[in-house]
Amino acid sequence: MAGNMGRALISLPAKAKRGDVIEIRAMIAHPMETGFRPDSQGRLVARDIVNRFECLFEGEQVFACDLFPAMSANPYLSFTMRADMSGELVFRWRDDSGALSEEKRRIEVE
Amino acid sequence: MTQNPSPLPSYTPTRRQMIAAGTGFAALMLAPSAQATTQEMEKAILAFTGGVKPRESRVTVDIPVLLESGASVPTKVSVESAMQGDDFVTSLALFNEKNPQPNVAVFHFSARSGQATAQTRIRLGDSQKIVAVAKMRDGSYYMGAIEVIVTLPACAEDA
């Protein structure tokens, strides 16, 4: 973790029934500097946004998002996944500076 | 009604009026560069679809119609789809017409998605139309749109 990339919050059910479609919510602290905003001297503040988010289940992509400056600060994403088996979810964010943030969560499917 | 001696008075603007008109014109010229336009949004949509005009069906954009602040606007997009076989949404792009850029986000779904739906929070610089375009596996495109009113735009606030 470096630069503007902050703490990540992830919410998903710890357990799910096989075949259920579950909701996964992920948010990361980041100013999402648009590159259109002037500072107190009137100069534009350089753009630095989270431009890519990915969620993988056992190495396979579940959901991904390309983000633009019109996404709010501390970008929040909610999406769905069909629970077929227990396994590990990986959450990845990348910003304009190249900083990466990664989180892991387990889900038990019965 | 004989107060005006000439039936067609010639209009000669003063120096002050000329300057005022000049600055007004300059402001008009500058305005379009500060925000995307409907045309720019349409261009961005066609870039996403590869020139195909999306059909207005199946896609729903859910945003509160009247917003106090544009800084963080809860937005839900969903597509009516079985998410199986050819009836499968591979990606869903969100566009706006009046922020500085027309693109907002592109969501990518997978066989594990189960549903073609996503929620997020977006910035809106003005009252405007938000459009979502779905790309299907069979190469077809669908779209949905919503008009929202923003009383305090995102750009008016300090970050």
Which residue of chain B has the CA closest to A75? B121
Q: How far apart are CA A85 and CA A82, in angstroms?
A: 9
Enter the pTM of the model: 0.85
Q: What are the chain B neighbours of A71 within 8 Å (beta carbons)?
A: 104-105, 120-123
- Over range A31-38, report the average pLDDT: 93
Cβ atoms of residues A78 and B120 within 8 Å: yes
- For residue B11, being part of any structural domain is answered with no
Q: How many CB pairs under 8 A join A and B?
A: 96
Expressed as residue numbers, the domain containing B56 is 33-156
Contact with chain A for residue B120, Cβ under 8 A: yes
Q: Note whether B100 contacts A34, CB cutoff 8 Å.
A: yes
- For residue B1, being part of any structural domain is answered with no
What's the pLDDT at A105?
Answer: 97
pLDDT tens track for A66-90: 999 999 999 999 999 999 999 999 9
The CATH number for B132's domain is 2.60.40.2470
Contact with chain A for residue B113, Cβ under 8 A: yes
Let me know if B84 is exposed, middle or buried by CB neighbors in 10 A (0-12, 13-18, 19+). Answer: exposed
- Over range A10-18, report the average pLDDT: 96
What's the pLDDT at B30?
Answer: 43
The low-confidence residues of chain B, meaning pLDDT below 70, are: 1-35, 157-159
Q: How far apart are CA B149 and CA B126, in angstroms?
A: 7
Q: Note whether B73 contacts A37, CB cutoff 8 Å.
A: no
Domain ranges of chain A: 8-109
pLDDT-above-90 percentage for chain A: 91
Q: How many helices (H) and strands (E) does chain B have?
A: 2, 9
CATH of A8-109 given 2.40.50.140, 3.40.50.720, 3.40.50.2300, 2.60.40.10:
2.60.40.10
Q: What are the chain A neighbours of B120 within 8 Å (beta carbons)?
A: 65, 71-72, 75-78
Helices (H), A1-110: none
Domain count, chain B: 1
